[in-house]
Structure 1
Amino acid sequence: MRRSLTLFAAALLVAGLFSVVVPAPPAGAAACATPWSASTVYNGGAVVSRGGHNWSAKWWTQNETPGSAAVWADQGACGGGTPTPGCDHPNWVAGQWYATGSIVRYTDGNYYIAVHDNPGYDPVISTWYWDPYACGGGGGPTDPPDPGGFVVSQAQFDQMFPGRNSFYSYSGLTTAIAAFPAFAGTGSDTVRKQEAAAFLANVNHETGGLVYIVEQNTANYPHYCDASQPYGCPAGQAAYYGRGPIQLSWNFNYKAAGDALGINLLNDPWQVERNASVAWKTALWYWMTQNGPGTMTPHAAMVNSRGFGETIRSINGSLECNGGNPGQVQSRINAYQRFTQILGVAPGGNLSC
């Protein structure tokens, strides 16, 4: 589960105030990229060559020299040959200590690099890792995903949600994604776009097209306090109603999400309806870490090609799947198919649950 310090480190990384050690690529020189130019503006992910090495920009930069500025990550010698990183890295073990630069093989079969010492945080949901490590040929370590590189553009987002509430801002979403870099950042370009479309389709259904910030049936509000929990309902009996893109509800969910995000949502659940970034983070927290009534997280369903239907099962399967409410299921599917069309990607199979 994510710690608040991870969010702090991720924020510093994005802001350019914090640098990490990236292990050098395995021996073997790749072709040299375009030579670095002091006057050129480079965005995160740009690759240049200087001094016989290729360098990758971690964030926006201009007139900062590769080899002397922290913004540039050394990608190794260039000039010939293609590096073929090995795949003989150990399996990730939860709770085991990993030092900066450690490369582990996760349960999804992909390899991840620790960007900071950590006590075995989950690579898929933790900002302590970058992904993926392209072993067996393909260029070696990659830099962290740039929030500005989200597979859904601002224009596409606006096309998906033409009548959205201004609270649900695109910038709030991309800020939240920085805390969950594996979201729409794992697998092929197709998989990434399918996951983004799947998340936004479910969000579309839960909020009426990103219109509703809070649950509309106020009569339900007092029902979301599980008084049997040891921490109770300190914000009040009726304080834990549905809020945000996936309509987070119940005191235990606010407690778990708050603990994971480093935000005191148990005592102040209203943050989810007042802060767009917090709202999006709670939705991504659920998407990335919770099975719900399903058997896997929605993230796992998409990156492991289990189909959009399994994301429905994980979000509201106990009420909608297996014939429970086919109309609601079809509403989600329709949105998913529309969003994948906007992104120019096939929806894949197993759409229903």
Structure 2
Amino acid sequence: MSRHRIAAFLLTLALAIGLGVTFQPTASAAPACAAAWSSGTVYVGGNTASYNGDNWQAKWWTQGDTPGGSVGVWTDQGACGGGGGGTTPPAGSCNYPAWVAGTNYSAGAIVQYSNGLYYQATHDNPGYDPTISTWYWSPYTCTGGGGGTTPPSSGGFPVSEAQFNQMFPSRNSFYTYSGLIAALSAYPQFATTGSSTVQAQEAAAFLANVSHETGGLVYITEIDQSGNYCASESYGCPAGTYAYYGRGPMQLSWNFNYKAAGDALGVDLLDNPSLVQTDAAISWKTALWYWDTQTGPGTMTAHNAMVNGAGFGETIRSINGSVECNGANTAEMQDRVNKYESYAAILGVSPGGNLTC
């Protein structure tokens, strides 16, 4: 460097010091944010998601476990910028009530925690800590408004709350509409596959069958609980020999169904079968688990029966075909059909063909 350039540099440096300018090394740009973490999304080891301005990487399979939470399934990858974005709500844009320990919250309630962030109850709970009980709470992106008891949006679910109440005028208060909506994330293909007519038909078919199983969503548990629903599986019946009687909208029965449903939903139902009769969202999820994944005595799942055109009759076969189909009990079968036709009419769609089995 020439003497003239050195002199110019020193003069510039002196002026900068005199003006209070601080020289900082150029910071490298933060990596782009991955897609924002969602409580309803299933992540496997190696998947990344952004949350609160950081990218996080899953260590193993997870659903509903908040990054940075007590479960320890997520590794913090550091700050990110742009891209998918985190879930930190804009400050001051909402006025939801502060969370209070020990207060009973229904699914859908929105609260502000002491960390300044907002959380929405995904399951009814007696005031569990939103940052610890990630099964009961999910982060909520605040976009304005107020009030803390707005139910979760039904999204594209074909049945409105008013129609749900019309279908079940005498239902037990346990079977909440918000509990059903909260459960939909477990099986996103339910009532979202095919045309809008097919989606409404599937919703009506599902609700008609659970109505039959529960006397119009009146019964949470089986009336006769003396039956032995304990099959000789390797894991046995840790909750008790007679603990696996029918519960919930689909009257989930038998130890192997509680084990399989619990494994699929990430909940230990084998040891805690009573959750199906005390947690509305879990209860609805077990019904959706059977509907979407089990063929029962039939040859296809009830979901596939409705979306692939096999008809309502095949849903009966998948649920209780060995008892009601092929002329075995036409009165019970017809009761399901009648309910389905009634619910389809409420939703304004044709019930389609192949109604019986």
Q: Shorter-chain TM-score: which interval?
A: 0.5 to 0.7
1:279 matched to 2:310? The reply is: no
Q: Could you list the runs of 4 or more consecutive aligned residues of structure 1 that deviate by over 6 angstroms after TM superposition?
A: none
1:171 matched to 2:175? The reply is: no
Cα separation, 2, equivalents of 1:7 and 1:295? 34
Cα separation, 2, equivalents of 1:10 and 1:329? 37
Match of 2:230 in 1: 225
Q: Residues 219 and 150 (structure 1 numbering): CA distance in 2 closer, same or farther, change over 3 Å?
A: same
Q: Is the 8 A contact 1:205 1:331 kept in 2?
A: yes
Cα separation, 2, equivalents of 1:172 and 1:260? 18
Higher Rg of the two aligned structures? 2
Structure 1 counterpart of 2:159, one-letter code: V
Structure 1 counterpart of 2:230, one-letter code: C
The structure showing larger relative contact order (alpha-carbon pairs under 8 Å, at least 6 residues apart) is 1
Match of 1:10 in 2: 41
Q: How does 1:126-145 map to 2 (within 5 A)?
A: none
Cα separation, 1, equivalents of 2:180 and 2:52? 23
Q: Is the 8 A contact 1:225 1:251 kept in 2?
A: yes
1:247 matched to 2:251? The reply is: yes
Q: Residues 307 and 177 (structure 1 numbering): CA distance in 2 closer, same or farther, change over 3 Å?
A: same
Which residue of 310, 331, 349 corresponds with 1:306?
310
Structure 2 counterpart of 1:207, one-letter code: T
Once the two structures are TM-superposed, the CA of residue 178 in structure 1 deviates from its matched residue by: 1.2
Q: Is the 8 A contact 2:201 2:306 kept in 1?
A: yes
Structure 1 counterpart of 2:356, one-letter code: S
Work out the number of aligned pairs and report it.
Answer: 224
Q: Is the 8 A contact 2:191 2:203 kept in 1?
A: yes
Once the two structures are TM-superposed, the CA of residue 10 in structure 1 deviates from its matched residue by: 2.3
Structure 2 counterpart of 1:199, one-letter code: F
Cα separation, 1, equivalents of 2:271 and 2:192? 32
Match of 1:192 in 2: 199
Unaligned runs of 5+ residues in structure 1 are 1-5, 20-66, 72-145
Cα separation, 2, equivalents of 1:148 and 1:155? 15
Structure 1 counterpart of 2:295, one-letter code: N
Q: Residues 18 and 266 (structure 1 numbering): CA distance in 2 closer, same or farther, change over 3 Å?
A: farther
1:319 matched to 2:319? The reply is: no
1:260 matched to 2:264? The reply is: yes
Q: Is the 8 A contact 2:51 2:85 kept in 1?
A: no
Query: TM-score, normalising length from structure 2?
Result: 0.59
Once the two structures are TM-superposed, the CA of residue 179 in structure 1 deviates from its matched residue by: 1.2
Q: Is the 8 A contact 1:340 1:347 kept in 2?
A: yes
Unaligned runs of 5+ residues in structure 2 are 1-36, 44-49, 54-81, 87-152
What is the CA deviation profile of residues 9-62 of structure 1, one whole-angstrom value per residue up to 9, with x for unaligned ones? 5289xxx9599xxxxxxxxxxxxxxxxxxxxxxxxxxxxxxxxxxxxxxxxxxx
Query: TM-score, normalising length from structure 1?
Result: 0.60
